[in-house]
Amino acid sequence: MIRKDESLSKLKGIRHGFFSRIGGVSKGVYHSLNCGLGSSDDTEHVIENRRRAMLCLGLPITSLRTVYQIHSDLVLTIERDSDSSDFIKADALVTATSEIALGILTADCAPILLADPIKRVIGASHSGWRGAHKGIIGSTVESMINLKAKKENIIAAIGPCISQESYEVDTIFLEKFEKQNSINRKFFIPGRSGHFHFDLKGYAVSRLKEAGITKINALNIDSYNDNDFFSYRKARHKNESDYGRNISVIALNQIS
């Protein structure tokens, strides 16, 4: 049900988890731990799934904050435990407030959890190709710095996302990245005629490095080929009516 990053797991005072689709109550294409309010799943099922995920982290569902994700470079800062967020349009959250769980929903996009354990600042970023291309990763880091985090302290973990092998794109897609920076060509390998395979995880790592982050880890889990995870692309290839969302969460413990 839950996957952990080794580097984040070593940090005192921080809880985190990259949750699979296993262990929930949803049915059909959403089976079973669908945590996406943006899906057409039964809302009560989604809420119960979120409650179960938070229970795994030892937190109440009331501590969870997510946003209305739009593939942007917008970051929401949670400053008080009373701040609401579910209907605010953004693609990342940051906070220095204890007992607030920052959640990101993905289904092939890269979830990135970040923590400065010294300054006690955390972040969660929804980094699909659009958001990463627009600069969501750098924006997340800068928002953490605005809360007094230090780049040299920040540890970043990239969770389950679509692998390069599974991510076929066309020439127009490639040209978007080459136009941004010619060096981006290294994130593409040739596929069938007129197509390429894009390394989303590698590109996310490069954007983290551009933002000054050097402590980076990535889980080697392909959301497309691993049936324990929801995948937008796989759902489309199977002509399914909708798809579920995986949730990734990070939280600061209360200082005792």
Full residue range of the structural domain in which residue 51 is found: 2-162+222-251
Q: Are 136 and 125 in contact (CB under 8 A)?
A: yes
- Has residue 96 been placed in a domain? yes
User: Please, are residues 3 and 219 in contact by the beta-carbon 8 Å criterion?
Assistant: yes
Domain-located, residue 86: yes
| Residue 89 covered by a domain | yes
Phi, psi values for residue 132, rounded to 5°: -65, -40
pLDDT above 70 for 155: yes
Residue 244 located in a structural domain: yes
Residue 46, H or E segment? helix 43-56
Domain count, the chain: 1
CATH of the domain at 109: 3.60.140.10
Q: pLDDT-derived band of residue 256, with 50, 70 and 90 as boundaries?
A: low
**Residue 131 included in any domain:** yes
Which residue in this structure is represented by tokens 């080697």? Answer: 220
pLDDT, tens only, 55-110: 999 999 999 999 999 999 999 999 988 888 889 999 999 999 999 999 999 999 99
| 246 falls within a domain | yes
- In this structure, the strands spanning 75-78 and 92-95 are parallel
| Distance separating alpha carbons of residues 242 and 232, to the nearest angstrom | 8
Q: Which distant-in-sequence residues (6+ apart) come within 8 Å of 180 by Cβ? A: 133
What is the residue type of 245? R
A 10 A CB-CB count for 191 gives 15
Radius of gyration of the chain (CA): 17
Residue 186 lies in a domain: no
Let me know: does 27 contact 18? Beta carbons within 8 Å: no
Q: What confidence category does residue 131 fall into, taking pLDDT thresholds of 50, 70 and 90?
A: very high
Output DSSP code: residue 254: P
Tokens of 154: 């920040």
In-domain check, residue 20: yes
